[in-house]
Amino acid sequence: MRKITEDQFESEFHMKPNHFFTNPEDCPFSGCMYETYGQELDHIVSLLDNIETAKTVWTIVEDDTDDLIFYVSGFHIINRLGYFVTEERVEEETSVAIDVSVDEF
């Protein structure tokens, strides 16, 4: 698994805003997080149907042991907190995790 810092993530990938919110202050992660239920999850799942858009999905997961949050490329269910969609695709052989303190969430 390829691991990068949050700064590297921000320079390589650009998160798309969650279009279900008109006010980014009402949505975590500067208006870019999609929830794990309802129409937001339906939108994420719809992206998985296309090989091109499936590679733009990221899962925010919590590590129970270290109280850390990771952004992991792809769609995951275990310990998920939400999802991101980026403008850039993540290539098949690449997995990326970013360590983010829970205090920053």
Going by pLDDT thresholds of 50, 70 and 90, the confidence category of residue 23 is: confident
Residue 71 near residue 92, CB atoms below 8 Å = no
> pLDDT digit string (tens) for 65-93?
777 788 889 999 999 999 999 999 987 65
Share above pLDDT 70 across residues of the chain, in percent, rounded to a whole number = 88
Average pLDDT, the chain: 86
pLDDT band for position 46 (50/70/90)?
very high
Q: Which pLDDT score is estimated for 88? A: 96
Predicted TM-score (pTM) of the model is 0.86
Give the count of domains, the chain. 1
93's tokens? 């052989």
Question: What is the extent of the structural domain holding 58?
Answer: 2-104
